Structure 1
């Protein structure tokens, strides 16, 4: 493979992020605990500069796709939009997580460097043009999140969650690799575009082997999303990990998972849609049923949000099942919307938590409107948006994927989704009911600590941003 200067131009944002993360890792070695805030500032500046580089190259590039490193790395509008969303969500996560980490003696450079390395893996994943790049990006993202969950070594619950996450993640990666090996065996190529072309022209050696490879890849995709029946890791990891870590793994990686699904399904298996579209549809049904039904039984808010994640993945799969540009656009809109809503939901838990108290139980929100109406209003908007109540962002996201399902002649799937959307609204409304109609157990006023002022303002700004985006409607 001949490497030229032109190969480095599309990957400049990733190279900058890698260099800046390594520099932050070295700087952290020489900082005292009192100056740890510098790492927080440098991490936010790194994400902002990376986003500027993406925007600058995006403006030069226009709408044309660009390939580098012999097609292993792709630069197109889909990848750029997802990268910008990943940088935005990750920056919001850093701001939300800071007071939580400080209060629990977890405000360390490892949190920021692991998150930044994970972001780097996500950016590689959404720009993958080869099966090799897909796996490299996926493992860089996954290994960083495994370590992130286990960062609080004194927390036995977090350690157990990290072990479960690692073991099941390794199993899913093995299935994904097995599927990739079948694609390579059937086509003799690792390039996604070549695989797609050979599948369309009938040049694959064994079409059954090709289809079986796509099936195994779908298993890997479903695991990374947390779709049923490959969701067994999700509730325990969300519940066991410290909330700041759950905040990260519950938001930005979902964007990378969509990017992986788009590259693999559209890039290599787009011409096998008649095989995988119905499989994705049934994965959506299972996720909607299992996620919503089990979420109804939860009293722990983090576990409830974990099971609701499964149901949201079911909605996202409605767009993927379309298999066309409109379906992918709807699914990407849903993925970005959900990442913002999920970050805001876990940010609300952090906002109400304090040292020695984790606001993880739904009962912890009892009578919140009496103590702090502003906080209660923010949580109300978050829950209403996730439930799909108009005119909040979640409504437009659900409308987009339902429209995609109908356009794909899967009216039955859209009906199932609407039924379970109504069922799922119950557990979100239960949180609202507890805040507004139950008497508070603690009658003291909420503590408005100046140290958390930035968290409250950013949480409010996030809701305003989602409201403005929702006012424009779905794509």
Structure 2
């Protein structure tokens, strides 16, 4: 335990060193598109992603759980898989965002690229944190970078307002989480997640203090996930932020929030599962109701996708509610792997949805109203088809990956053979039918409404290629989901030895 074990943190070290190097190199870049900074950033992300996949496959540490930095940092299969997808998410986002950002005067400096790298570093630290303070430091590094990215268009009043709302409510969420963690520390006498688990399992601690601490921890996590009733910031920030920043918020940070939920609740407080699973049930039901019903009334596409995110997070939380049933953990691997699969596939789909919004936007025009997609099939049948795939996936319609993700969560609930979980599954299906309406409305607008704007769609070659690959990935993973599902199950089982 008392070792630094540097090999476990090589990807984070490489990312930090190269991010600092890019920050200095960018001072000498004069090209308006920041070509050198952009290329170096993508190369950095590619290297880090390759290292993370190598760790997951077992080339460095045998694919097992390794602790580093005096036990405060954990390198395990679950963390490496999530970190790989988080890095991939930032890579894809920056490919989509470059032209969009240059047209909105967001590339006067290299802040978009360097802040994205530092936010990713925060995400990686959160995912691998095995100590309350390390998780919190990662959270703040990620959050502060994202606050600045939302406010990157300094002359845009809407973006500035969104940044303020995000900052104030983000600070409130961090306060909730920190207060809950401080109560857990007060009750158990340790900041280390494994020590906390052992202390709680001993049964010699005041249960009232523990449950009170869990309430604040779950509330803080719900804020970060954007689950109702802690969802107030999501629609305003998604709509007000530049779409590039919106996608940076909607992608990798969701994986980080899922990771710390697993670290804190499953790794640290599994003995209190009876208490926090009930809280997650309430959050998931509220999120499904608020997200799906509020999304119906939206005319702004980004705001609709924000409420959609709330509903999607509610569905994902359902997967975490059935890990411990009647005091046993027989369904834990199935439950947690279905939630992991859900959040990964949600991020992959969301990348494409917001990526297409950025591609359709141009100088002086934001393609963020649903009406802006009218007749897209007449302008570009391929883009319309790709967007339809993303909408079908979010709605959970086969053969897209969103269908299999929802099916996996429902199967985890129903397989418990407990009446409450079966009713939760039925409720989730009914609200998914409601949600299908607003997704299919977007498809209807693209294919059956007359195009009002027939201007050509301008996009870089790499953005078109990545968008096409993104759409095909959602389709192929829906037709052949077994590989990714097996990776998720493998990550959960190897990380927790379930």
Q: Per the shorter chain, which TM-score range? A: over 0.9
Would the aligned equivalents of 1:322 and 1:407 in 2 still touch at CA under 8 Å? no
Q: Structure 1 regions of 5+ residues with no counterpart?
A: none
Name the residue aligned to 2:358. Answer: 350
1:408-446: CA deviation from partner (whole Å, max 9, x where unpaired):
43111111110000000000000111111111123x3x4
Which is further off, 54-63 or 147-156?
Answer: 54-63
C-alpha separation between the residues in 1 aligned to 2:79 and 2:215?
A: 24
Name the residue aligned to 2:456. Answer: 447
Name the residue aligned to 2:227. Answer: 227
Name the residue aligned to 2:267. Answer: 267
1:140-161: CA deviation from partner (whole Å, max 9, x where unpaired):
1111111110111100000001
Name the residue aligned to 2:439. Answer: 428
Name the residue aligned to 2:395. Answer: 387
Name the residue aligned to 1:31. Answer: 29
C-alpha separation between the residues in 1 aligned to 2:297 and 2:239?
A: 15
User: 1:285-434 to 2 correspondence within 5 Å?
Assistant: 285-323=285-323, 324-408=332-416, 409=418, 410-434=421-445
Name the residue aligned to 1:162. Answer: 163
- SS where residue 74 of structure 2 aligns? strand
Normalising by structure 1, we get a TM-score of: 0.96
Would the aligned equivalents of 1:187 and 1:203 in 2 still touch at CA under 8 Å? no
Q: Alpha-carbon deviation of 1:241?
A: 0.3
Q: Alpha-carbon deviation of 1:3?
A: 4.5
C-alpha separation between the residues in 2 aligned to 1:27 and 1:194?
A: 43
Would the aligned equivalents of 2:360 and 2:457 in 1 still touch at CA under 8 Å? no
Name the residue aligned to 1:279. Answer: 279
Q: Alpha-carbon deviation of 1:382?
A: 0.9
C-alpha separation between the residues in 2 aligned to 1:348 and 1:53?
A: 29
1:207-248: CA deviation from partner (whole Å, max 9, x where unpaired):
211111111100010000000000000000000001111111
Q: Alpha-carbon deviation of 1:35?
A: 6.4
C-alpha separation between the residues in 2 aligned to 1:226 and 1:36?
A: 33
C-alpha separation between the residues in 2 aligned to 1:366 and 1:52?
A: 40
User: 1:106-145 to 2 correspondence within 5 Å?
Assistant: 106-107=106-107, 108-145=109-146
- SS where residue 8 of structure 2 aligns? coil
1:284-311: CA deviation from partner (whole Å, max 9, x where unpaired):
0000000000000000000000000000
1:180 aligns with 2:181: yes
Which is further off, 173-182 or 367-376?
Answer: 367-376
Normalising by structure 2, we get a TM-score of: 0.92
C-alpha separation between the residues in 2 aligned to 1:293 and 1:35?
A: 41
Would the aligned equivalents of 2:285 and 2:314 in 1 still touch at CA under 8 Å? yes
> How many residue pairs get matched?
469
Which is further off, 58-67 or 84-93?
Answer: 58-67
Would the aligned equivalents of 1:318 and 1:404 in 2 still touch at CA under 8 Å? no
Would the aligned equivalents of 2:162 and 2:241 in 1 still touch at CA under 8 Å? yes
Q: Alpha-carbon deviation of 1:251?
A: 1.2
Name the residue aligned to 1:21. Answer: 19
Would the aligned equivalents of 1:150 and 1:162 in 2 still touch at CA under 8 Å? yes
